Chain A
Amino acid sequence: MHIARELFIRILAGAAVLWAAASLAFAILQLFPSDPVQVIYGADSSVTPELRDAIRADFGLDQPVLVQYQRFVTRIAQGDLGISYQQRRTVTSIIGSEIGSTLTLASLAVLAAVVMAFLASLLTAGRKSWLRRVLSSFELLSVSTPVLWVGILLLTFFSFQWQLFPVVADGGWRSLVLPVATLAVAVFGSLSQVMREEMDRALEQPFILTARTRGLSEWAIRWRHALGHALIPAITISTETFGGLLAGSIVTEQVFGRPGLGRITLEAITNHDIPVVMGIVLFVAFVFVVLNILADLLYRLVDPRLRVSTR
């Protein structure tokens, strides 16, 4: 009962966030210091007066601001993100055609990073081994190296030098390996650092001593008792970075010449394709809201103490 009610409240709150994001986008469009038609249409100056009128009517730009706002919000609420006049397609279909590629890349990268971080913490938490020293140096390196550089290094060695993987995306799984590795390395660094620290702390708790006095093996203690405590920060970091990767894998997608949200964002910005930019902004806000709700549900799943309703 309780969880359903709280979920409902979370969804309402998420809707409020989206509404605020849409309103902000609308306000920025209104305040833009140039002709809205020019803004919407882009830098192309060969707009016929007929098209100009069509756009005006379509956007209701002859209407008062409040009416425009109302229409805008209604449209967004129905999932209609408008039309890119430059590309003569709906924004939804533009995002739709590119999201698959980005989604695959981001999911695989986060999955790989999570699996690696889990293994790294399970193997090295609470121990002073050489492996721990190697891994923490690697984490530090990964956190402090720009993604761009990692991508270029991987391309240089694995594609140009040894020719193991294709240089440019060709649609096959082989072209996914290097971009996924690039992003996974970046995510792994911070994720593994935080998870191990959390597990280190858990391993010093009295309940671990209790588990040892029951005769549990070292592996069972880590797997059954310590790991769960590293999950909360793992959920926070992985959902947040997942959202970040969906919206901002621009560099990686460019380096590896992959289609995706990053590329269309970049194109839309350089071409002043405002409907697409706004559509992506709202879409990303939506993704973050959904991921936040998901993270909250996962927290409750992992930690029973969070299931207690706040009275």
Chain B
Amino acid sequence: MHLLTVEDLSVSFPGSVAVRGLSFSVDAGQCVAIVGESGSGKSVTARTLVGLAGDNATVTARNLRLGDKDLRQLSPSQWRSVRGRHIGFVLQDALVSLDPLKTIGSEIAEALTQHVDLSRKEARQKVLDLLASVGIPDPQERVGQYAHQLSGGLRQRALIASAIAADPALLIADEPTTALDVIVQAQVLSLLRDMKAKGTGLILISHDLAVVASLADHIIVLKDGAVVEAGSPDRIFSDPQAPYTRALLAAIPSATTKGRKLTADTPPSTSSDAPGRREDGIALEARALIKRLGSRLAVDHVTLTLRTGETLGLVGASGSGKTTLARLLLGLQQPDRGEVTLRGQSWSGLSERQRRPLRPRIQLVSQDPLGSFDPRYRVMDIIAEALEIAGAPKSDWRARAAELILSVGLSEAHLYRRPRQLSGGQRQRVAIARALAMEPEILICDEPVSALDVSTQAQVLDLLDDLKKQFGLTVLFISHDLGVVHHVSDRVMVMHAGKIVEEGPVDEIFLNPRAAYTRELLAALPRLPTHRPFATHESRNDRTGRDTLSVSA
């Protein structure tokens, strides 16, 4: 008997079908991965398996069993005794998945005492054991801390501890590493691997095939709620059948994708030759920057040269000082020591009043565009504001906005939407259009694709590449994802604890890392097990591959 048996599972909401005819089974000590882009129905599947698809969901299945228990027949109170006790559930981004007002100890104890009758003292000891078992150091101290006091990795471990507190036989992890940087991601994946080895059945949900590659025994690729392809990792990676699976694999940026498009259906760049409207030389230079935040040196003697027309990658784990450095370069914060010059002219040394007229020349695209938009503004207003600052005459705004929105691959209809009505990829396109409205020389991209799933990320990266050529942009690309950085950058700088530990041409650094930290980063990077012979330029441009990724992100 399987641990979990799912046969012909369908979930629909009024007006839409989220999952259609999904079948699979999970055994003890086995990992089934469900992979797909956002909206593919993977999270709905996960929630349905714990009876939390929602009040307005209609769930049907020919068979839905946990051991010998028919999950279709459960009453709400019977479901409560299954959740946490027999099926554990781990959500992504533990910062918001743990109650900010509760200590992690009380969150874990809650999961425990809900199902197991324990004295207060026994429960406390069990919580400490759980914290230790998921690899949280100093459990005695951590047990009384709150989510905001823990690092991303420790939070995710605490969340996993709460999910396995009552020792469930099956664990569902929905994007458990999406918010984490590569090193922490590798640690969390290895924790899940340990649990699998101890006999826990695992359902791992991700948008990224590379993440599940090392863990999964069986992979299911979902698109629009239906299974596109399913099979063993070996088979899927070496011989993907469905065009969609190929597109997903091809969308993963890495060293081998360098200089190529990640998506098959991005329209070719409108101007193939760079206009070269900027003079050659050094666009932005920083000398011996030091910035202290509290007791910590966030930026420690950083010297950096951004040459005109190049893409400089900046990689490092979260907390390494990347964003602080970006803020210094943008002139949003003043360095304690050192200087930033823009085209050889003073930049960090200027007063804000002097700097303001020059600001359009250096623009930012951030990770979370939603937070950078006024929610009451329409896209039109967002872009018009930038045009106004750039000094465009009011009569031109409409035409320029239309031109810009087309250049980032959206349609004029999008000008009349509000940020909330757009998908993550569309928002990032609007953020890019807003930056371009200023006609900048330099674009600083701070984790511009970290919040996007792999296929949307591929579209945005391709777009950035097109625009860079079309407008002759100089780009500083900040990311914790080495694959992305490798794909986009000419040169790369590796940052760790405020210092630049290594710097050079991207291939040289990543193929031949000298610094120990770079090697650690590279080792943690999830990799596809095999090379992808199908991922050639020709095969991705053929007819079958063309319609596989939706155009608008």
Contact = CB atoms under 8 A, between A and B. Distances in A.
B463 interface: no
A5 interface: no
A229 B101 contact: yes
Interface string A298-311: 00001111001001
Contacts of B83: 212-215
Nearest to B148: A305
Interface stretch (B20-28, B108-116, B267-275, B445-453): B108-116
B148 to A, nearest CB: 5
Contact of A209 (B97, B149, B165): B97
Contacts of B146: 304-305
Given A217-B80, A224-B110, A212 B98 contact: no
Contact of B84 (A209, A213, A225): A213
A86 B96 CA distance: 62
Nearest to A229: B101
A210 interface: yes
Chain A interface size range:
20 to 34
Contacts of B89: 210, 213
A79 interface: no
A90 to B, nearest CB: 47
Nearest to B77: A217
Interface in A201-256: 205-207, 209-217, 224-225, 228-229
B114 A216 contact: yes
A214 B162 contact: yes
Nearest to A212: B52
A302 B97 CA distance: 19
Contacts of B148: 304-305, 308
B81 A215 contact: yes
B99 A209 contact: no
B159 interface: yes
Contacts of A215: 79-85, 111, 114-115
A216 B97 contact: no
Contacts of B50: 212-213
Contacts of A209: 47, 52, 91, 97
A214 B96 contact: no
A268 B100 CA distance: 50
Chain B interface size range:
35 or more
Interface string A1-13: 0000000000000
A213 B114 contact: no
A214 B97 contact: no
A228 B52 CA distance: 23
A209 B87 CA distance: 14
A225 B102 CA distance: 8
A27 B162 CA distance: 62
B181 interface: no
Of the candidates A205, A209, A214, A225, the one having the most CB atoms from chain B within 10 angstroms of its own CB is A214
Given A209-B52, A304-B148, A305-B148, A214 B114 contact: yes
A308 B147 CA distance: 12
B114 A207 contact: no
A225 B99 CA distance: 7
Interface of chain A, helix or strand or loop or mixed?
A: helix
Contacts of A210: 89, 91, 97-99, 159, 162
Contacts of B93: 206
Nearest to B147: A207
A205 B96 contact: yes
B163 interface: yes
Contacts of B294: 311
Nearest to A128: B55
B54 to A, nearest CB: 11
A304 B146 CA distance: 7
B484 to A, nearest CB: 25
Contacts of B115: 215
B340 to A, nearest CB: 25
Contact of B163 (A205, A213, A224, A225): A213
Interface in B366-418: none
A207 B110 contact: no
A207 B84 contact: no
Contacts of B81: 215
Contacts of A212: 50, 52, 83
A211 B110 CA distance: 9
Nearest to B83: A215
A211 B99 contact: yes
A184 B9 CA distance: 52
Contacts of B36: none
Contacts of B309: none
B88 interface: yes
A207 B98 contact: yes
A213 B96 contact: no
Nearest to A228: B101
Contacts of A229: 101
A214 B87 CA distance: 9
Contacts of A214: 83-84, 110-111, 114, 162-163, 165
Interface in B135-172: 146, 148-149, 159, 162-163, 165
A93 B274 CA distance: 85
A210 B93 CA distance: 11
A224 B149 CA distance: 21
Contacts of A304: 100-101, 103, 146, 148
A188 B85 CA distance: 40
A216 B149 CA distance: 25
B51 to A, nearest CB: 9
A126 B382 CA distance: 33
B249 to A, nearest CB: 29
Of the candidates A211, A216, A303, the one having the most CB atoms from chain B within 10 angstroms of its own CB is A211
A217 B295 CA distance: 44
Contacts of A213: 50, 52, 83-84, 87-89, 91, 163
Contacts of A311: 294-295
B475 to A, nearest CB: 33
A216 B80 CA distance: 6
Contacts of B99: 207, 210-211, 225, 228
Nearest to B100: A305
Contacts of B295: 311
Contacts of A224: 102, 110
A205 B101 CA distance: 13
A311 B296 CA distance: 11
Nearest to A205: B96
Given A213-B89, A214-B110, A308-B148, 19 more contacts: A205-B96, A206-B93, A210-B98, A210-B162, A211-B110, A212-B83, A213-B50, A213-B87, A214-B162, A215-B84, A215-B115, A216-B110, A216-B114, A217-B77, A217-B80, A225-B99, A229-B101, A304-B103, A305-B146
Interface of A: 205-207, 209-217, 224-225, 228-229, 302-305, 308, 311
Interface of B: 47, 50, 52, 77, 79-85, 87-89, 91, 93, 96-103, 110-111, 114-115, 146, 148-149, 159, 162-163, 165, 294-295
15 contacts: A205-B96, A206-B96, A206-B97, A207-B96, A210-B89, A210-B91, A211-B99, A212-B83, A213-B50, A213-B91, A217-B77, A225-B101, A304-B103, A305-B146, A308-B149
